[in-house]
Amino acid sequence: MQYALALPNGGTWGDPETLAELSRLAEDSGWDGVFLEDYLVWQNHPEVPTYDPWIALAAIATRTNRIRLGTNVTPLSRRRPWQVARQTVTLDHLSNGRVILGVGLGDPSESAEADASFTRFGEPMDTRQRAQMLDEALDVITGLWSGEPFSYDGGYYQVREVTFLPRPVQRPRIPIWVGGGWPLPGPSRRAARWDGSCLYKHQTHYMMPDDVRDLQALVRQYRGSLEGYDIAVGGNPRRDDWEEERSYIRSLAEVGVTWWVEYIPPDFGELEAVRAAITRGPLLID
């Protein structure tokens, strides 16, 4: 199992320079990855300073050498897929092939003010539409990553024949992880079709070993095997009872979870407290 930090792109220490410093500290402290949230307005809190995750990831790439990096997750329906294709390839080259693209629909839209990153800018709120745009955007991004002449005629995106160079450093391409609520059919099936999942348990949030087994069965149905497939679980702050947390992580590792992701929220504390939380390293099960 590998261990990653999920960090906010908002808050008093969510700026690119500080995130780059913290990511270097994470690399030195034994973490295997750093993934950033992707908001225009951090979690619907306009009073919280918010920074662009792609610029922050570029800063992280220049300050680190080993850890994987990416977004967890990018709501593709509010981004132009060709721009994301160009940004991710550039970041892949800058990091020498360490990028993972996490994608999803964005925060649920049960209320009119569900996600200011959507509502304040006239972005689509309908879940079905977002899902269709996400699927089309993934087709466009992977087609452009191919480095071959590519065209596309979808319901939401059209591309006249064009070739995007360079190709990603990673082969066959940059891995794509899909987030969303398990076992909701849309995100679950989408995750099974791509390279990895960063799903959370719908309503209860915590994925359990039986959930992972069911997800693995779905992945085998779509892909034929689990070879090369990543399952990332977590996304919560570390619990107060470390042994309880370690036991939970161990139960997930035993059924084949490949990444444990620990979240440090903007309100965790002052910067020194965040540094200390990162320096303590991942909660290893060995």
DSSP the chain: -EEEEEE-SBSTT-SHHHHHHHHHHHHHTT--EEEE---SSGGG-TTS-B--HHHHHHHHHHH-SS-EEEEEEEEGGGS-HHHHHHHHHHHHHHTTS-EEEEEE--S--SSTTS-HHHHTTT----HHHHHHHHHHHHHHHHHHHT-S-EEEE-SS-EEEEE---SPPSSSS---EEEEEEET-HHHHHHHHHSSEEEEEETTTB---HHHHHHHHHHHHHHHSS-TT-EEEEEEEPPPS-HHHHHHHHHHHHHTT--EEEEE--GGG-SHHHHHHHHHT------
User: What is the arithmetic mean of pLDDT over 105-111?
Assistant: 70
What tens digit of pLDDT does each residue of 156-182 get? 999 999 999 999 999 999 999 999 999
Choose between 108 and 58: higher pLDDT: 58
What tens digit of pLDDT does each residue of 191-205 get? 999 999 999 999 888
pLDDT > 70? residue 110: no
- CATH number of 2-279, picked from 3.90.1170.50, 3.80.30.20, 3.40.1120.10, 3.20.20.30: 3.20.20.30
What tens digit of pLDDT does each residue of 12-49 get? 999 999 999 999 999 999 999 999 999 999 988 899 99
pTM greater than the 0.85 cutoff:
yes
Q: How confident is the model at residue 286 (pLDDT cuts 50, 70, 90)?
A: confident
Boundaries of every domain in the chain: 2-279
Amino acid identity at 96: N
* HSE, side-chain direction, 13 A CA sphere, residue 277: 23
Q: What is the pLDDT of residue 107?
A: 81
CA 47 to chain CA mean position, Å:
24
In terms of Cα–Cα distance, which of 46, 51, 61, 44 is closest to 8? 51
What tens digit of pLDDT does each residue of 47-91 get? 999 999 999 999 999 999 999 999 999 999 999 999 999 999 999
